[in-house]
Structure 1
């Protein structure tokens, strides 16, 4: 079985908006999170679409989705975790409790604030996760990447042709991800930035899915302007 997992656990400090987390800000007349859920609903492969958000926002999220989306029968809203990876693990615990986990259980995890993913990207994630067990959506780096270990002086300039910018979805065999995560030490968990790194740290392969330059993450106020322009281009 395949499950869509939409990560809406963040509060969006970089957006500078104290009133509400950024996933609830409006773009094109609808909250960002609604646009994202709509992209998942059109994929019939998903047994269920699991939206994870801060506990105080659960009822608000449910009400928003019911207001803007005609059929939410396959959508459930549950509490996220204290970290990104704990949020992902909460989705796996939910699946295990309600459906059970086996070698065929796939999760497609995606940022709630990336509303411009495509049907093709989702389908490729499902296909690669089924075939390989783990995949990450990326685009080739267009700018030179500079490494500065001390955050002051350049220590290395990697070959740009081998560099990629990570996006989401990231998709996994859920049983494998659960096993790898539970084997991590507390020190290892502290340095994690996303679930794909769990596989890399444990020597497991993560395959690349081709993303899109417009599959942006809405992080800063400027991104809202870009998002409005992209929505106008979709019409």
Structure 2
């Protein structure tokens, strides 16, 4: 089976000026998270879409889904975790307990606040995860990359041609991901905030899927303004 895990566990503290997590803010005429969920629900290859939210937003999320999408047994809302990796593990445990995991099980993990992911990106993620076991959606870095360890002076300026900006989805063979997570030491687990980094830490290849510059992550107030502009252009 193929699963999508929509990671909506954050509270959006960087958005500022609102107590509402950023994934529930309005984009166009509906919440950001609904735009995102819809992209995965309409994909015929995805069997179940699992949405992971803070516990106190589970009922609210279910209400929004029923309001904007309608009742759909293929959308499941469960509690996220304290960290991104905890949230990811919650999705895997749910899949294991309710559907089972076999050698062909695939999971696409996606930020709830990236509402402009395209069908092509999703399709390419599914194909790459099936073929290679792990993939990350990226776009080439356009700005010069500057490294500073102390935050005051430049340590190095690496060759930009070799650097990419990570987006999501990040997609994996579930059994492979589960085994790697369980192999982490406590020290390794404490510093990991990215699922692909788990693979690289264990010397496992992660293949690149081409993203889109419009596949933005809504983090700050300006991002929401930009997202509304992108949406208007898409609707013209």
Question: Does the alignment pair 1:203 with 2:194?
Answer: no
Shift of 1:193: 2.0
Give, in angstroms, the shift of residue 71 of structure 1: 4.6
- Aligned counterparts of 1:125 and 1:82: Cα–Cα separation in 2: 26
Match of 2:56 in 1: 56
Matched, 1:155 2:132: no
- After TM superposition, the runs of 4+ consecutive aligned structure 1 residues lying more than 4 A away are none
Q: Describe how 1:71-220 pairs up with structure 2 within 5 A.
A: 71-220=71-220
- Give the distance between the partners of 1:153 and 1:107, measured in 2 at CA: 40
Alignment partners' CA distance in 1, 2:102 and 2:90: 17
2:29 is the alignment partner of 1:35:
no
The Cα shift of 1:73 comes to 2.1
- Secondary structure of 2:33's partner? helix
- Structure 2 gaps of 5+ residues are none
Q: Structure 1 residues 17 and 174 mapped into 2: Cα distance closer, same or farther (>3 Å)?
A: farther
Q: Secondary structure at the match of 1:109?
A: strand
**Structure 1 residue 232 and structure 2 residue 232: aligned?**
yes
CA-based RMSD of the aligned residues comes to 0.8
Corresponding residue of 2:68: 68
- Secondary structure (helix, strand or coil) at the match of 2:34 reads helix
Measure, in 1, the Cα distance between the counterparts of 2:7 and 2:62.
Answer: 14
- Aligned residue for 2:198, secondary structure, equals helix
SS of equivalent residue, structure 1 residue 72: coil
Alpha-carbon offset, residue 135 of structure 1: 0.1
Quote how far apart the aligned CAs of 1:72 are.
Answer: 2.1
The SS at the match of 1:46 is coil
Task: Give the unaligned 5+ runs of structure 1.
Answer: none
How many angstroms apart in 2 are the aligned matches of 1:169 and 1:19? 27
Q: Which moved more, 1:15-24 or 1:213-222?
A: 15-24
